[in-house]
């Protein structure tokens, strides 16, 4: 007989029908005559209660039914007398797929700290919290594809191995095919990394944007959604060494259109979560962050404040607040500054635009003032920067002048500059950090807790 997922069975009426459920034991309790097994199969927070009439089962088999064991239960779906759930399964046959020694199984009935669970990341999804987080992660990934597909964007796959350092967005991981025991040396005797990738330097991508722009300038509107790598040794709760980024890139979009898309996109994703992940969000709200659902609704129902960087800095300076990093015109905002603007001053998300050109990447379109660029960062409560984007410089002369001014290697960027020589067009795009989005949607405080296998300077094992 086909087994149904527990989420589905819990929705169905008690029909006394024969059912099969498969899952992992969360708890087992009972008395001399009957045992109650809470079975979870990963499909929802709720467990299926399996009722076992002890007289009908082999004692030896039941001894092996411990927390963590994996079972198949054949039985009948009946109305439950227990509070809080409509149905339960009266067991007729139990098969144990895998036992779990209670002496060594790390997940016991008591709650575990997030730090403890981080050390056993491979088992975390067996807990209610991480079950909920990874189901929300899945739903958000699906919603992202749905949003862009419905809007006529194409999903473009950009390379992970690349010779371009994009924008100096972050330190890069070198990729090497060299024999580490026999590294080539420069004339000065240092290791010659310029030979890294079959004779040329190469690294893991920090952003798919430059390649994405080429996509936009031919397919019109595209998005990327893939892993990115930054060798930043910053042990903050908002940075990972490997994270996922969504990067839409649109021909014929100016900064205004870019801002509109970013706001619409974020609101779509939040609405999607509220409508489709209700049980998991309510669980997260109850367990970890009792302002979560209210905050999601708040952001959904308020227009994002659009503001010039220059005005933002004025507000920060006039605030009288003692920031850890003092801020003046020209400084790159830290999350404490971003959060002040959002949480305390405007009390809603902010889109900060027109940043000084010296703190932004070379490809951003310059404003007439010669000092600022058409950049936009979307700043969220609890997170700070969730999106970074801009209108791109479409003019060949201006772009190549900027490349020279910054002392960048024009030869390495020939393919990128070529797009401005042949049929260039105004275009814009942005990058949304997938895990930053998930921090916001789940209410979690540490980015290591919204990705199944966090890669940080301290963890690359599993
Ligand atoms: P930050 O200022 O927070 O370091 P950034 O300006 O370096 O971010 P961008 O290069 O603009 O980041 O990348 C686009 C988006 O990717 C960011 O807005 C953020 O959501 C996300 N992001 C950037 N770096 C990381 C990271 N190390 N881990 C997780 N997400 C990141
Ligand atoms: Mg950064
Ligand atoms: Mg930034
Ligand atoms: Mg940025």
d(CA 154, CA 78): 48
Of the CA atoms within 13 Å of residue 433, those in its CB half-sphere come to 26
Q: How is residue 100 written in tokens? A: 């779990």
Q: Which ligand has its closest atom nearest to the C-alpha of 241?
A: 1
Tokens of 243: 């994270």
Q: Distance from CA of residue 93 to its chain's centroid?
A: 41
Average pLDDT over residues 353-368: 97
Tell me if 350 sits within 8 A of 337, measured CB to CB.
no
CB under 8 Å to 104, separation ≥6 — which residues? none
Rounded CA-CA distance 441/380 in Å is 11
94: nearest Cα among 35, 155, 11, 16:
35
User: Over 70: is that where the pLDDT of 53 sits?
Assistant: yes
Nearest to 148 by CA among 66, 239, 219: 219
Chain segment 74-87, per-residue pLDDT in tens: 999 999 987 677 99
Ligand 1 atom closest to the Cα of residue 361 is: 10
- Going by C-alpha positions, the residue among 430, 379, 429 that lies closest to residue 238 is 379
From the list 189, 226, 192, the residue with the least C-alpha distance to 207 is 226
Cα 78 to Cα 19, 35, 48, 56: the distances in Å are 10, 16, 11, 18
* Cβ 230 under 6 angstroms from ligand 1: yes
Contacts of 11 (CB under 8 A, 6+ apart): none
Class (C level, CATH) for 4-96: mainly beta
Ligand 1 atom 15, closest CA: 433
Chain center to CA of 321? 31
Contacts of 200 (CB under 8 A, 6+ apart): 163, 194
Question: Are 362 and 408 contacting, i.e. CB atoms less than 8 angstroms apart?
Answer: yes
CA of 376 to the centre of ligand 1 (A): 13
Dist. CA 388 → ligand 4 center (Å): 4
Mean pLDDT, the chain, whole residue set: 93
Instruction: Give the model's confidence band at 166: pLDDT under 50 very low, under 70 low, under 90 confident, else very high.
Output: low
Which pLDDT value is given to residue 280?
98
CATH 3.30.930.10 occupies which residues in the chain? 124-169+205-447
C-alpha to C-alpha distance for 149 and 391, rounded to whole angstroms: 22
Within the chain, what is the greatest distance between any pair of CA atoms? Answer: 85
Q: Residue of the nearest CA to atom 16 in ligand 1?
A: 433
Q: The complex's ipTM?
A: 0.99
Residue closest via CA to ligand 1's atom 23 equals 433
**What pLDDT sits at residue 167?**
56
292-300 helix and 278-287 helix, angle to the nearest 10 degrees = 120
The pLDDT of residue 74: 97
Distance 385 CA to ligand 3 centre (A): 6
Asked whether 388 lines ligand 1 (CB < 6 A), one says yes
* 413-418: Cβ within 8 A, 24+ apart: 413/164, 415/214, 416/164, 416/210, 416/213, 416/214, 416/363
Stretch 328-349: mean pLDDT, rounded? 97
Give the residue, by CA position, lying nearest to ligand 1 atom 19.
433
Ligand 1: residue whose CA is nearest its atom 8: 385
Q: Which fold would CATH assign to domain 124-169+205-447?
A: BirA Bifunctional Protein; domain 2 (3.30.930)
Q: Nearest ligand, CA of residue 230?
A: 1
Distance in Å, CA 433 to ligand 1 centroid: 6
Nearest to 432 by CA among 396, 394, 380, 393: 380
Ligand 1 pocket residue status of 239, Cβ below 6 Å? yes
Reported confidence tier of residue 189, pLDDT bands at 50, 70, 90: confident
Record the pTM: 0.95
Q: Tell me, in angstroms, the distance from the centre of ligand 3 to residue 310's CA.
A: 16
Edge-first strand listing for the sheet containing 350-356: 154-155, 221-229, 242-251, 427-433, 384-391, 372-380, 350-356, 305-308
Q: Which two tokens stand for residue 405?
A: 């001014």
Residue 51 belongs to what H/E stretch? strand 48-53
Residue 262 DSSP SS3: helix
- Going by the DSSP 8-state scheme, the letter that residue 200 receives in this structure is B
CA-CA distance, 181 to 167, in Å (whole number)?
Answer: 32
**pLDDT(234) > 80:** no
278: three-class secondary structure by DSSP: helix
Tokens matching residue 274: 């509220």
- By the 8 A CB rule, do 296 and 281 touch? yes
Q: How far apart are CA 200 and CA 405, in angstroms?
A: 25
Asked if residue 387 has its Cβ within 6 Å of ligand 1, the reply is: yes
Q: Quick: pLDDT tens for 207-221.
A: 999 999 999 999 999
Percentage of the chain beyond pLDDT 70 is 97
Q: Alpha helices of 185-254 — where are they, by DSSP H? A: 209-219
Residue 96 CA, distance from chain mean position: 35
Average pLDDT over residues 197-213: 87
Query: Radius of gyration (Cα) for the chain, nearest Å?
Result: 27
**What is the number of the ligand 1 atom nearest to the C-alpha of 378?**
18
Res 260 pLDDT > 90: yes
What's the token pair of residue 126?
């067996």
- Residue 232 confidence (pLDDT): 79
Q: Whose CA is nearest to atom 28 of ligand 1?
A: 239
End-to-end Cα spacing for the chain? 36
**Ligand 1 atom closest to the CA of 431, numbered from 1:** 14
């Amino acid at each position: 007989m086909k087994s149904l997922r527990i989420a589905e069975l819990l929705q169905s009426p008690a029909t006394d029908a024969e059912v099969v459920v498969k899952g992992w034991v969360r708890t087992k309790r009972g008395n001399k005559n009957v045992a109650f097994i809470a079975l979870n199969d990963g499909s929802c927070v709720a467990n299926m209660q399996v009722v076992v009439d002890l007289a009908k089962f082999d004692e030896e088999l039941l001894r092996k039914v411990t927390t963590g064991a994996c079972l198949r239960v054949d039985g009948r779906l009946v109305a439950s007398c227990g509070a809080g759930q409509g149905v339960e399964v009266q067991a007729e046959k139990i098969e144990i797929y895998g036992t779990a020694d209670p002496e060594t199984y790390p997940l016991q009935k008591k709650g575990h700290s997030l730090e403890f669970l981080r050390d056993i990341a491979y088992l975390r999804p067996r807990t209610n919290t991480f079950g909920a987080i990874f189901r929300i992660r899945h739903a958000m990934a699906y919603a992202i594809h749905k949003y862009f597909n419905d809007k006529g964007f194409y999903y473009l796959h950009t390379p992970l191995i690349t010779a371009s350092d994009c924008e100096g967005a972050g330190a890069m991981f070198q990729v090497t095919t060299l024999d580490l025991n026999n590294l080539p040396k420069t004339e000065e005797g240092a290791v010659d990394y310029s030979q890294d990738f079959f004779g040329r330097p190469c690294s893991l991508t920090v952003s798919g944007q430059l390649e994405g722009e080429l996509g936009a300038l031919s397919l019109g509107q595209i998005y990327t959604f893939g892993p990115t790598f930054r060798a930043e040794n910053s042990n903050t709760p908002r940075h990972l060494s490997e994270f996922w980024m969504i990067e839409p890139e649109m021909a014929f979009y100016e900064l205004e259109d870019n801002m509109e898309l970013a706001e619409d996109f974020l609101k779509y994703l939040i609405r999607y979560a509220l409508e489709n992940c209700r049980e998991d969000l309510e669980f997260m709200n109850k367990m970890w962050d009792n302002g979560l659902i209210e905050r999601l609704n708040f952001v959904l129902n308020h227009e994002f404040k659009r503001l010039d960087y220059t005005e933002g800095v004025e507000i920060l300076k006039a605030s009288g607040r003692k920031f850890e990093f003092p801020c003046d015109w020209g400084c790159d905002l830290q999350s404490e500054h971003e959060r002040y603007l959002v949480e305390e001053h405007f009390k809603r998300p902010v889109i900060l635009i027109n940043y000084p050109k010296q703190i932004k990447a070379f490809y951003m379109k310059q404003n007439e003032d010669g000092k600022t660029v058409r950049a936009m960062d979307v700043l969220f409560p609890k997170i700070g920067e969730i999106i970074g984007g801009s209108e791109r410089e479409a003019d060949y002369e201006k772009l190549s002048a900027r490349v020279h001014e910054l002392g960048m290697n024009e030869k390495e960027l020939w393919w990128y500059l070529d797009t401005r020589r042949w049929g260039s067009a105004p275009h814009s795009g942005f990058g949304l950090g997938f895990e930053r989005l998930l921090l916001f949607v789940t209410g979690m405080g540490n980015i290591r807790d919204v990705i199944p296998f966090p890669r940080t300077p301290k963890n690359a094992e599993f």
